[in-house]
Structure formats: C-alpha cells, structure tokens
Amino acid sequence: GAVVSQHPSRVICKSGTSVKIECRSLDFQATTMFWYRQFPKQSLMLMATSNEGSKATYEQGVEKDKFLINHASLTLSTLTVTSAHPEDSSFYICSARVGGDTEAFFGQGTRLTVV
C-alpha cells in the first residue's frame, strides 16, 4: 500500500521557537495533503488542506500565519509551527491523497511538546 512518512515522530522545543514537520509520500505522488491536530483523547481536527503548487486552505480558527504549510512538490509537504507556545503542544498528523477520488493515506504523526 501507499506509504506516507512523517518526521519527526516526537519533538520538544522551547517556547518562542519554530518547529518544522515534514510529510512525504514515499511511493506515490500526493496531489493533496491534509494536516490534522489531535489533543489527547480527542478526535483528529483538520487544520488545513494543501494542494501541490498552491496555497493551503485553512480551516476556520486555524491561524495561517502561525501554521505555515508548504506543498512545493508532489511528494513533500511541510508544516511549520512558528513561535510555538505550550498551548500548541499536540499531536500533528498528515495524510496524503492521490487525485480526487481516492482515499488518503496517513503519516505516523508528530508529538509536539512546547516547554
């Protein structure tokens, strides 16, 4: 099956610093990537949808200037959490999709802790 690799799996950073999370589709070209955030024991919350070569579409309530998404190629999307604060500590997961009618495949997730 299709493989989506997300790195790092865990990261701890200081408040005020920025963190970049990478999401790569290893054996297929992902035209669309989704970024989710999940707080403990809660559902995945969609943050944004990005299509290769175009700007990401952010969900309501998600700050686009704080969560920078770049989808410059068909195999790589990055999420940068800028000026991270403790309330940004969460589980971030990406998923990648080929075309418009196929299912999305998920990365393993990144556990971000801001101290």
Partner 1 sequence: GQNIDQPTEMTATEGAIVQINCTYQTSGFNGLFWYQQHAGEAPTFLSYNVLDGLEEKGRFSSFLSRSKGYSYLLLKELQMKDSASYLCAVMDSNYQLIWGAGTKLIIKP
Residues near partner 1, by CB under 8 A = 1, 9-10, 34, 36, 38, 40-41, 43-44, 46, 49, 91, 93, 95, 97, 99-104, 106, 108-109, 111
Could you give the CA distance from residue 38 to residue 47 in angstroms, rounded to a whole number? 10
Taking the complex as a whole, the smallest distance from the CB of residue 89 to partner 1 amounts, in Å, to: 12
88's CB contacts (< 8 A; 6+ apart) are 81, 112, 114
The DSSP H or E segment spanning 3 is none
Measured from the CB atom, is 57 or 70 closer to partner 1?
57
Measured from the CB atom, is 44 or 76 closer to partner 1?
44
Taking the complex as a whole, the smallest distance from the CB of residue 55 to partner 1 amounts, in Å, to: 18
Measured from the CB atom, is 83 or 84 closer to partner 1?
84
Q: Which of 72, 27, 21, 80 is nearest to 50 (CA)?
A: 72
Taking the complex as a whole, the smallest distance from the CB of residue 88 to partner 1 amounts, in Å, to: 16
Taking the complex as a whole, the smallest distance from the CB of residue 83 to partner 1 amounts, in Å, to: 24
Which one-letter amino acid corresponds to residue 24?
A: R
Strand partners, 67: 81
Q: Which of helix, strand or coil describes residue 88?
A: helix
